Amino acid sequence: MQKIDETMCITPGDDWSRAWKAISLYTGAALTDLVIFDIETTGLSANVSSLYLIGALWYDGQDREMKMCQWFADDYISECAILEAFSSFVSGFSTIVHYNGSGFDIPYIEKKYRFHHLENPFAAIRSFDIYREVRKEKALFDSSSLKLSVVEKLVGFLRADNYSGKECIQIYSEFMQQKIFRSPQADKEKEKLLLHNADDLRGTLLSSLLLYYKLPLHFADKNWKSDAFCITCRTQENVPFPCGRETDDFILSFEENSACITLSCTEGCYCHFYENYKDYFYLPEEDTAIHKSVGIFVEKEFREPAKASNCYLKKAGKFVRFPASSSDYLTQHGLTLFRESYRTKPVFVLKDEIEKQDSLFWEEVLPYITSV
């Protein structure tokens, strides 16, 4: 086994330090409690392949440097040794960070720990998968995929490594052959493998810049347009690049340290549906529902038991459309919700009610609006 160490200076405000800060803000963990890891293997199945490289990247708070350590199996018998070395190392951290490691790296390495009858370090450390936090935001970044290579390009990371993980399997095989023959080429092959792993670690770190789009927004202002209601928000930090997405319910856009949520306004007639329809009568001629305590005074030929689909009160006016995900919050705060029909999901709130809401209301409702 070989252990390779590397140190990299970072400065406050650069992309490296912003990336560490993004993970810390999102997870609540201290910078010095975070460690990023990535593995290289000779195949996808832990049962029939070997683990030949584990890399770790962390922030050294004392020296204010970014440090990297790689444990490399330079022979066919070092797998157990690199597992033991890695296990001892990560015990000093509270949170292990990775990019889609929940799908491959962790299940693979845990099988290896069991195979070698070693204690599993992942049982005692928090796991944070950046990919699982950002994967639903393809539309925001206008991307059909958020695999690491795509995200690296989004955040502007230029790899020095030119090989895929699959190609590295052949490179490792070539390294072992060249080492047996004591060829100087062996060191060149090893450097390719170390560089690939190092770039995976650095790419994983910089992928966390996308987390800035996922941090809570803070209400700043609101304003009306002819056919829209705009909510301006502050972001916790400047976002890496301008982007946005549009759904049937809202438009969300980011730029620098601000975000804008645009909800559509419409003028029309909508229905407020009462929950306990069995307590109501429906009046066909008036196309409305009234409570039975009042409806009993209406002649029987002009009323009928209400159904869920017609137990409503109609209202005409100017409305703001909200996504269904915000319904519970809006109801809890006393707003009357309207719909186009019983089956439709979007909800509408009268403009007059919207204008009465204070900044605290908007601060709290923001995540419910954008959670779809």
From residue 266, give the alpha-carbon distance in Å to each of 256, 270, 315, 324, 343: 30, 10, 13, 17, 19
- 301 located within any domain: no
Same domain, 11 and 70: yes
Q: What was the pLDDT predicted at 180?
A: 87
- The answer to whether 270 touches 314, Cβ cutoff 8 Å, is yes
State the average pLDDT over residues 107-121.
98
Q: Provide the residue range defining the domain that includes 107.
A: 2-212
Same domain, 128 and 252: no
- The answer to whether 259 touches 253, Cβ cutoff 8 Å, is yes
d(CA 40, CA 37): 11
Boundary (domain end) residue, out of 167, 190, 212 = 212
End-to-end distance of the chain based on CA atoms, in angstroms?
Answer: 48
Same domain, 191 and 48: yes
For 10-164, where are the E strands, in sequence order? 34-41, 51-60, 65-72, 95-98, 126-129
pLDDT, tens digit (0-9, with 9 covering 90-100), for 220-230:
999 998 899 99
Residue with token string 């070997």: 50
State the average pLDDT over residues 107-112.
98
Q: What was the pLDDT predicted at 130?
A: 98
Same domain, 156 and 249: no
- 185 located within any domain: yes
Domains: count for the chain? 2
pLDDT, tens digit (0-9, with 9 covering 90-100), for 303-325:
999 999 999 999 999 999 999 99
State the average pLDDT over residues 343-354.
95
Q: What was the pLDDT predicted at 39?
A: 98
- 297 located within any domain: no
Q: What was the pLDDT predicted at 173?
A: 96
Q: Is 138 exposed, middle or buried (0-12, 13-18, 19+ CB in 10 A)?
A: middle
In percent, the amount of the chain with pLDDT more than 90 equals 94
Boundary (domain end) residue, out of 158, 192, 212 = 212
Residue with token string 């976002």: 239
- 326 located within any domain: yes
pLDDT, tens digit (0-9, with 9 covering 90-100), for 190-226:
999 999 999 999 999 999 999 999 999 999 999 998 8
Record the tokens describing residue 239, joined without a space.
């976002």
pLDDT at 274 > cutoff 80: yes
Same domain, 127 and 249: no
- The answer to whether 220 touches 233, Cβ cutoff 8 Å, is yes
Boundary (domain end) residue, out of 189, 212, 235 = 212
- The answer to whether 111 touches 51, Cβ cutoff 8 Å, is no
Q: What was the pLDDT predicted at 192?
A: 97
Average pLDDT, the chain: 95
CB neighbour list of residue 81: distance below 8 Å, 6 or more residues apart: 1, 71, 73
H or E segment and range at residue 25: helix 15-27
Same domain, 9 and 153: yes
pLDDT at 164 > cutoff 60: yes
- 298 located within any domain: no
Q: What was the pLDDT predicted at 372?
A: 57
- 295 located within any domain: no
Same domain, 350 and 264: yes
